Amino acid sequence: MDNTKDENNQHSAPPLLELKNVTKSFGAVSALSNIDLTVYPGEVVALVGDNGAGKSTLIKTLAGAHQPTSGEIYFEGKKVDIESPSRAIALGMATVFQDLALCENLDVVSNIFMGQELNIWHLDETTMEARAWMLLNELAARIPSVRVPVASLSGGQRQTVAIARSLLTNPKIIMLDEPTAALGVAQTAEVLNLVERVKEKGLGVIIISHNMEDVRAIADRIVVLRLGRNNGVFAADASNEEVIGAITGATDNAVTRRAKAIADR
């Protein structure tokens, strides 16, 4: 099922990322089967599917946490092996997982530079603070100070810090795992604005979400996974019935209506 036009006619630039027949098995269990995916510069691709569809496994494979069993991954036109998280970062792919991996007792600067501190005999606090403000300003972030502890920030502000930290390595693709989960309306809008800022910088974005309203607000294309397989590529203006039908495998309206709760939660 494919509800999009020929991608070559829509994008003037070559793709940043291409997956061809990527499969990932854990013993006898196939988590991903022959996955194809393409991401272009300045494009937001929403990865949707029910729990167990393979979304997180796919992101972890691209982030270097899992190794594909078979298939090919191309980054900027070159076939690559992503054997570790450090390799993914070196290529230009950054990941913000759902748990954010922030230290709440540390301030914003310390979290942004965690593991990447500027240290010549001693920590260069002044340069790190200036760089942190620059990253946050690029995202039009609403952070009161880079010296406040992360524990004092809202959920949306914490996402901001995590995304700013991902930009520190100058990535070309950012992958976001459920960035608006458990956020209120105002905080969700703040995070979606952040994604828009990242897109405007020309980066490719892969976003996992169960919330179809968020998906429609930000995505250029919607890629559906079902039971570890591709089950549809849709334009952002595709109907809820089409997308949710692909998520659930439903073919009748009654089942599709019952399944809507999956995408809205």
Q: Which H or E run contains 213? A: helix 212-218
Task: List, for residues 12-70, the tens digit of each pLDDT value.
Answer: 789 999 999 999 999 999 999 999 999 999 999 999 999 999 999 999 999 999 999 99
Residue 102 within any structural domain of the chain: no
**Tens digits of per-residue pLDDT, 211-261?**
889 999 999 999 999 999 999 999 988 988 899 999 998 744 444 444 444
**99 within domain boundaries:** no
Residue 32 falls inside a structural domain: yes
What's the rounded Cα separation, in Å, for the pair 103 and 79? 36
Residue 98 lies in a domain: no
Q: Are residues 146 and 176 located together in one domain of the fold?
A: no
Expressed as residue numbers, the domain containing 24 is 2-92+172-264
Give the C-alpha separation, 148 to 141, whole Å: 14
Residue that finishes a domain, picked among 170, 195, 218: 170
What does residue 83 show for φ and ψ, rounded to 5 degrees?
Answer: -85, -5
Does residue 195 sit in the same domain as residue 81? yes
How many domains does the chain fold into? 2
